[in-house]
């Protein structure tokens, strides 16, 4: 099966001191078999051994399941309801405030930055194809950011009622009790209830919760009878939930093709299931990262070439940190955006500690028309020698030049190549990295699901605030 996302680790592998991808074949196949057996166990509802708890393997087949349900009953399926709600919001409001943190935020942000116009919120409604502006909140505790957003949102019946003034909020929290999101939601509720009228039918259409089956947000949702709300299934953890309503509803509001996104994810799962080591991006990426970590590369750099993939990199930072940063193990992920960060971190990558494996994420085509270097009558800046070249030509030279510089001093680099940034390739990208994280967990004996280490700060914060 061919893929619009290819992993090429040849430069890194040529530098290996010992071991090879082939030498890991048996272990990688065993980790894949365990990952897939976990899916079967999860889907059978059988008893999960204590050592495997929690077992949030539901994300692996979920994209395919959603697509199949949609095919069987488009309007009655969850995907159909997500698409219908998104269409309603697009027609009804000009701003959607998306509330959520961690896994309930980073995927939506990554999709927004990868696939929408870089200046989306600044475009006219027509130039945005009638897609609302989006504002992300509930992802921090930040008085000034909250205050600035609240200051922009109409909050009383006297405020203007034109379409360009109207807003809605989507609140996303699986547990329904995360402080940052709950606090922001309380504030947004106060504001939006002031605008549309508490208890009004209109208000019920303007608040869309995405939450788990139980919890405080679920109780509020039931009590307030919001017109649309979506579940986050048990068995899909926060950072693995981008292909549930957590990522799909924001993506659909943004007018993205969520079926293509899911298809990309499902295609990657098929490839993962069937392709041998050497032709399997999930197993190959896992194996290469593992081999280099064993040789001291404890820092895993995702080097994105272009601004639009920075948030996707930050999404991966969370995925790797929360999944494998346990029992004093797990590589440290760092996302960089080049060429920007060549002017800040590049020195260290070239000459600093030999503790890094660099994975370049390279997009092989642009989404917008090519920008060309113009010729000036006066060549004071000396750029006429590049006249006629495109910005992409300059970027390609920078990618090649940087990798040659790293190779020149035996610094390992691998390439993740994307034909284009589309919904389908992004679906492949996210699913590949989620699968690789789980396989790596099985390879090193760490349960990739759950994040027990983040409880301590939460408990302390609540104690200090005065809650038992
Ligand atoms: O991966 C995870 O489970 C976490 O990062 C959560 O997504 C994050 O803590 C937000 O939790 P919730 O969706 O319950 O508000």
Q: Report, in this order, helix, strand and coil percent for the chain, each rounded to 5.
A: 55, 10, 35
Cβ proximity of 333 and 320 under 8 Å: yes
> Count of domains in the chain?
2
279 contacts: CB under 8 Å, gap ≥ 6: none
One domain for residues 122 and 217:
yes
Residue to substitute in 174, 182, 239, 458 for testing ligand 1 pocket (most ligand atoms within 8 angstroms of CB): 174
One domain for residues 413 and 363:
yes
Instruction: Report residue 302 as tokens.
Output: 């995702």
Instruction: Classify residue 352: in a domain, yes or no.
Output: yes
Q: Which residue do the tokens 């060429």 mark? A: 339
Is 307 among the catalytic positions? no
Q: If residue 168 lies in a helix (H) or strand (E), which one and from where to where?
A: strand 167-173
64 contacts: CB under 8 Å, gap ≥ 6: 262, 266, 269
One domain for residues 45 and 73:
no
Instruction: Classify residue 158: in a domain, yes or no.
Output: yes
One domain for residues 85 and 228:
yes
Q: Report the helix count and the strand count for the chain, using DSSP H and E.
A: 17, 10
| Residue 323 Cβ < 6 Å to ligand 1 | no
Instruction: Report residue 27 as tokens.
Output: 């272990």
One domain for residues 308 and 330:
yes
| Residue 451 Cβ < 6 Å to ligand 1 | yes
pLDDT at 467: 64
Q: Which residue do the tokens 């940063």 mark? A: 325
Domain containing residue 187: CATH number? 3.40.50.10490
Task: Give the integer Cα–Cα distance in Å for 360 and 343.
Answer: 17
| Residue 283 Cβ < 6 Å to ligand 1 | no
One domain for residues 232 and 148:
yes
Q: What is the mean pLDDT of each run of 10 residues along the chain (468 residues)?
A: 84 90 96 97 94 95 98 98 98 98 98 98 97 98 98 97 97 96 98 97 98 96 97 96 98 98 98 97 98 96 97 98 95 97 97 98 95 97 98 97 98 97 98 98 95 86 82
Instruction: Report the 10 Å Cβ neighbour count for 236.
Output: 25
One domain for residues 106 and 71:
yes
Distance 204 CA to ligand 1 centre (A): 25
User: Could you say which DSSP state residue 137 is in?
Assistant: E
pLDDT at 19: 79
Instruction: Report residue 17 as tokens.
Output: 């001191």
Provide the terminal-to-terminal Cα distance of the chain, rounded to the nearest Å: 55
One domain for residues 126 and 236:
yes
Gyration radius of the chain's alpha carbons: 23
One domain for residues 300 and 419:
yes
| Residue 138 Cβ < 6 Å to ligand 1 | no
Coil, strand, or helix at residue 153?
coil
pLDDT at 2: 56
Instruction: Classify residue 354: in a domain, yes or no.
Output: yes
Domain that holds residue 390: 5-51+277-448
Instruction: Report residue 405 as tokens.
Output: 């510089």
- What are the Cα distances from residue 126, in Å, to 83, 122, 123, 257? 20, 11, 8, 19
Distance 103 CA to ligand 1 centre (A): 5
Catalytic residue among 310, 322, 423, 440: 322
One domain for residues 357 and 233:
no
| Residue 302 Cβ < 6 Å to ligand 1 | no
pLDDT at 453: 87
Cβ proximity of 372 and 388 under 8 Å: yes
Instruction: Classify residue 46: in a domain, yes or no.
Output: yes
Cβ proximity of 242 and 430 under 8 Å: yes
One domain for residues 437 and 350:
yes
E strand map for 260-381:
299-305, 332-338, 356-363
Instruction: Classify residue 207: in a domain, yes or no.
Output: yes
Of 196, 231, 259, the residue that ends a domain is 259
One domain for residues 227 and 165:
yes
């Amino acid at each position: 099966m061919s893929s619009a996302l290819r992993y090429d680790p040849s430069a890194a592998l040529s530098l290996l001191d010992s071991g090879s991808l082939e030498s890991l074949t048996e272990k990688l196949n065993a980790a894949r078999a365990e990952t897939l057996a976990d899916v079967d166990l999860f889907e059978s509802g059988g008893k999960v051994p204590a050592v495997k708890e929690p077992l949030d393997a539901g994300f692996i087949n979920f994209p395919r399941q959603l697509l199949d349900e949609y095919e069987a009953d488009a309007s009655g399926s969850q995907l159909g309801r997500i698409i219908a709600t998104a269409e309603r919001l697009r027609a009804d409001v000009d701003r959607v405030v998306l509330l959520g943190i961690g896994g309930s935020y980073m995927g939506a942000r990554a999709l927004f930055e990868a696939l929408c116009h870089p200046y989306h919120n600044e475009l006219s409604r027509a130039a945005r194809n009638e897609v609302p502006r989006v504002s992300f909140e509930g992802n921090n505790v930040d008085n000034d950011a909250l205050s600035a957003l609240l200051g922009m949102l109409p909050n009383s019946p006297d405020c203007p009622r034109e379409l360009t003034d109207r807003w809605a909020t989507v609140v996303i929290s699986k547990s329904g009790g995360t402080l940052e999101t709950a606090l922001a939601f309380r504030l947004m509720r106060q504001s939006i209830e002031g605008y549309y009228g508490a208890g009004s039918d209109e208000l019920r259409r303007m608040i869309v919760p995405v939450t788990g089956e139980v919890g405080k947000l679920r109780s509020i949702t039931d009590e307030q009878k919001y017109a649309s709300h979506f579940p986050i299934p048990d068995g899909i953890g926060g950072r693995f939930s981008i292909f549930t309503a957590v990522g799909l509803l924001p993506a659909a509001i943004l007018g993205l093709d969520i079926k293509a996104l899911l298809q990309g994810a499902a295609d990657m799962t098929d490839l993962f299931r069937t392709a041998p080591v050497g032709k399997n991006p999930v197993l190959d990426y896992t194996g290469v990262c593992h081999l280099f970590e064993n040789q001291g590369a404890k820092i895993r750099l995702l080097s994105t070439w272009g601004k639009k993939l920075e948030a996707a990199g930050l999404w991966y930072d969370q995925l790797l940190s929360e999944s494998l940063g346990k029992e004093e193990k797990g590589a440290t992920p760092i996302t960089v955006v080049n060429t920007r960060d060549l002017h800040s971190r590049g020195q260290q990558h070239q000459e600093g500690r030999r503790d890094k494996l660099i994975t370049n994420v390279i997009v092989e085509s642009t989404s917008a028309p090519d920008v060309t270097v113009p010729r000036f009558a006066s060549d004071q800046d000396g750029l006429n020698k590049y006249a006629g070249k495109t910005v992409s030509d300059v970027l390609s030279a920078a990618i090649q030049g940087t990798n040659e510089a790293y190779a020149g001093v035996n610094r390992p680099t691998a390439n993740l190549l994307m034909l284009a940034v589309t919904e389908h390739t992004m679906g492949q990208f996210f699913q590949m990295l989620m699968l690789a994280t789980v396989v790596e967990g099985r390879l090193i004996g760490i349960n990739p699901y759950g994040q027990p280490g983040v409880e301590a700060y939460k408990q302390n914060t609540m104690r200090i605030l005065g809650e038992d």
